[in-house]
Amino acid sequence: MKTIIEPFRIKSVEPIYFTTKEERKAILEKAFYNPFRIHAKDVLIDLLTDSGTSAMSSNQWAGIMQGDESYAGSSSFFRFEESVKKITGMPLVIPTHQGRAAEKIIFTILGGKGKYFISNTLFDTTRANIEFSGAEGIDLVCEEGKHPTIPALFKGNMDVEALKKTILKLGATNIPMVIMTITNNSGGGQPVSMRNIKEASQVCKENKIPFFIDACRFAENSYFIKLRENGYANKSVLEIANETFSYADGCTMSAKKDAFANIGGFLAMRDLDLAIRCRNLLIITEGFTTYGGLAGRDLEAIAVGLQEILDEHYLQYRIRSIEYLTNKLIAAGVPVMQPAGGHAVYLDAKEFLPDIPVDQYPGQALVGALYEHGGIRGVEIGSLMFGKYDTDGKLIPAQLELVRLAIPRRVYTQSHIDYVSEVIIEVFNKRNEIKGLTIIEETPMLRHFTAKLKPII
Amino acid sequence: MKTLKQSWAEPYKIKMVELLKMTTQSHRRKAMSEAGFNTFLLKSEDVYIDLLTDSGTSAMSDHQWAGMMMGDEAYAGSRNFYHLEEVVKNIYGYKYLVPTHQGRGAENILSKILIKKGDIIPGNMYFTTTRLHQELAGGKFEDIIIDEAHDPENEFPFKGNVDLEKLEKLIKKYGAKRIPYVSMATSVNMAGGQPISLKNLKDLRALTKKHGIRVIHDMTRVAENAHFIQQREKGYEHKSIREIVKEINSYTDGATMSAKKDALVNIGGFLALNDWDVFEEARNMVVVYEGLHTYGGLAGRDMEAMAIGILESVNDNHIHARVGQVIYLGEKMIEYGVPIVKPIGGHGIFLDAKKFLPHIPQDQFPAQTLAAEVYLDSGVRTMERGVVSAGRKANGENYYPKLELVRFTIPRRVYTQAHMDVIAESVANVYGRRNKIKGMKMVYEPKYLRFFQARFEKLK
């Protein structure tokens, strides 16, 4: 059978509110052409993020009802801890209210001026947390990862040769951590191979640098390894995940992705001294060590979700639905990142809108067009998110100008996805009408969340 | 003629229950020793009645649970955020809202924005996490609560009041420029849940206004404070809790809120501000620490539960029953002759450990010892609020607070009158054999907020 069906049925629904194109035009203008400023009720299909937007299962909701809200020593914590240990094999588990809080803690302890954190590609909040501590972030994605439309199997890989050279150049003592992001989100949700994880880990071990995994989408990455890497076809996703984490000294995780939770995250590690320092900081900004700023019920939902994600029927359906949308767009000639990633479709805005220069933010312009035409909300991952200014105030653009359409887990059906592809193709056919944007207000850090823009006429 | 005691029957009935495990004495002995004689380190499944905190432990109403199902989990612009924003504006009267995952998230952001190195932050008694955030931002806390607050037996009705003379002295000594704000708590926790009066607050407002100093309100138990104003302050006996709450807030410039107390939720908090510039800075900072400013690190459903909880929290019948239950427990203990902080506060009973165990010196942790003893007796979990909680000064010396207390905090809408009876009987039991109880020594001490994770051993 060719058709892959969802390994679940729907138990509870949430209505979608319809808007007309004229209404959306006015909404977009009022939101200063920034999708983060649009009210959720004004969005038809919300592909802003796959983070925290999953539909929970009936088992997770049952867990929600069983949450133990005790301030200290909650039974929900112990179930959560066991679930994390089963996957990561790491003995020390610290809950946090989200992934960025886990990052904040680890970078506050290990970061600071003169330090460098190396990654395949750091995500926006990760980079912001590193820079906030005074340290610098360095991306060393492999060559294939830099070319959106050329397919390759593991475009999320780290360039291990470049890693060695960078360590030599900067000195191992100035590098408190190497972080492997799986899958590589900013690089298109592309997977990292086991071989690459192993090699990078080896280099870190030789240089006594802690090797951490940003594990938000560990299950999607594990499934890609199963599909694409020699020797893993007959291994279970859990076995592959176990092996992945076995090469690491620790991990950060936003449970809002591959744990089907609406809120939550954690830090896990092997080093007790580091864990004690993390816990001391945790109590100040997050909460006591057995709740970390989460309700007991959310610990339950994560504990259950982490096990559900390992189901291969689910992962097959998940990866194939992303592929389904990607292939529809490729067939219509729309420039998209290839091959399909694990959690999102990435439009290549530079090729989509070749007449709009990078300092007029083609990605953001495309985001606006998709909303206006079809009520679809995506997000720019390009020079608005990652661009910087040089000392003369001139824009230093990002490497890629992408628009990410992240697919929430278990939320939308095939007909929603068909609608999305129709809207994109329609916008592609009318792409000459799209205008560039200019910023009228911005903040120095993480500007894309709140910036105000207007079209250049 | 003495009036009859007013009954405080609950304005709700029970819709869902959570089963409890009864424990044996030998089980408790093992659990307590594994937890290093620190009640924070006990597993909740080893606890019978959990009075560790009233924070995040409330029973939500069926309306709140329905709101949980209406959570809009969109990353940006969730409708639950707009609902919460509207409720905060209407009920509390603050203009701008920044949601945070809990109260300490709001304290962290506020301290980082307003406090410069060398600043002085006067407040009506310290609170553990609040003071720590002030210190980490480079400020120094100065206590300006009235002296009566430090005397557990003084029955002054508003022991949470600010001593304005103390504040004036600080202003004279340091200059108003070095005082970014006065940190004013309603229902002062460390003093035993003691209220501040509206008259005192008005005077505080007048004085700070003269010097251009902001008043920032730690409003986590503002409704409970409003109840005491209604009961005790002239001119407010006919005003509703809702009116009094709004009036309290009107004399302040902003607030940090842990919604896990008054607002009847299991998680959530916010920073509320009237000043646009401070708000704008807070909104930018919240993205780094908490989450985008329309969710602040909370699930949409939790913002919805909070909005509904705030509305329920300012209901007169609710507060009347809430504080009524606390007073019921306190009066039982007084009947048994147990020394407690008076008058009885809004969210818990505070045992006076110095008087309970006069033979144990403060450096042998009488309150920590007493908390352990109560657990061993009946499986009731309480919290130390004395020398362990107070921590150390910047120079490494221990703070020796005047109050050495064990806090019995009552979760909202969770326990029944029969549970209260069991608690009082257990305390009376421990009181009966108090002379045989020995102190403890600390064997592990973390750097910050040591009370959470410290470990102890019994002295022989």
A–B: how many Cβ contacts below 8 A?
173
Q: For the segment B176-200, what is each residue's pLDDT rounded down to a tens digit?
A: 999 999 999 999 998 889 999 999 9
Q: State in Å, rounded, how far the first CA of chain A is from the last one.
A: 52
Residue B261: active-site member: yes
- Quick check: A129 and B284 CB within 8 A? no
Residue B251: active-site member: no
Q: Which residue of B has its CA nearest to A450?
A: B284
Q: For the segment A173-213, what is each residue's pLDDT rounded down to a tens digit?
A: 999 999 999 999 877 899 999 999 999 999 999 999 999 99
User: What fold is seen in the domain B62-313?
Assistant: Aspartate Aminotransferase; domain 2 (3.40.640)
**Residues constituting chain A:** 457
Write out the two tokens for A347: 């439009």
What separation in angstroms does the CA of A78 have from each of A82, A84, A227, A265, B44? 6, 10, 33, 15, 10
Domains of chain A, earliest start first: 21-50+311-455 (3.90.1150.10), 58-308 (3.40.640.10)
Instruction: Let me know if the fold of B25-54+316-458 is the same as that of B62-313.
Output: no
Neighbour-count burial of A359, counting CB atoms closer than 10 A to its CB (0-12 exposed, 13-18 middle, 19+ buried): middle
Q: Chain A closest CA to B381's CA: distance in Å? A: 10
ipTM of the complex: 0.84
- Catalytic entry in B53, B128, B130, B256: B128
- Quick check: A443 and B284 CB within 8 A? yes
- Quick check: B105 and A72 CB within 8 A? no
Q: Which residue among A71, A262, A446 places its CB closest to the CB of B71?
A: A262
With the CA atoms of B384, B386, B389 and B391 taken in that order, what torsion angle do they form, in degrees rounded to the nearest 10?
-150
Q: For the segment A367-410, what is each residue's pLDDT rounded down to a tens digit?
A: 999 999 999 999 999 999 989 899 998 999 998 899 999 999 99
Q: Which residues lie below 8 Å from residue A145, measured CB to CB, with a gap of 6+? A: A120, A121, A155, A156, A157, A184, A187, A188, A190
* Residues of chain B positioned with their CB less than 8 A from the CB of A36: 75-77, 292
pLDDT at B3: 46
**Residue A238 confidence class, pLDDT cut points 50, 70, 90:** very high
Coil vs helix vs strand at B145: strand
Q: Which residues lie below 8 Å from residue A351, measured CB to CB, with a gap of 6+? A: A149, A335
Q: Is the pLDDT of residue A456 over 50?
A: yes
Give the architecture (CATH level 2) of B25-54+316-458.
Alpha-Beta Complex (3.90)
pLDDT at B4: 46
Q: Is the pLDDT of residue B460 over 90?
A: no
- Quick check: B299 and A443 CB within 8 A? no
- Catalytic entry in B75, B336, B444, B452: B75
**Residue B7 confidence class, pLDDT cut points 50, 70, 90:** low
Write out the two tokens for B321: 């029953």
pLDDT at B2: 44
* Residues of chain B positioned with their CB less than 8 A from the CB of A367: none
Contact in structure between A55 and A410 (CB atoms under 8 Å): yes
pLDDT at B448: 79
Average pLDDT over residues A292-319: 96
Coil vs helix vs strand at B402: coil
- Quick check: B44 and A43 CB within 8 A? no
- Lowest-confidence segment of A119-133, A265-279, A324-338, B54-68 by average pLDDT: A119-133
Average pLDDT over residues A297-317: 96
Three-state secondary structure readout of A91-138: CEEEEECCHHHHHHHHHHHHCCCCCEEEECCCCHHHHHHHHHCCCEEE
Q: Domain ranges for chain B, please list them.
A: 25-54+316-458, 62-313
Q: For the segment A11-51, what is each residue's pLDDT rounded down to a tens digit?
A: 899 999 999 999 999 999 999 999 999 999 999 999 999 99
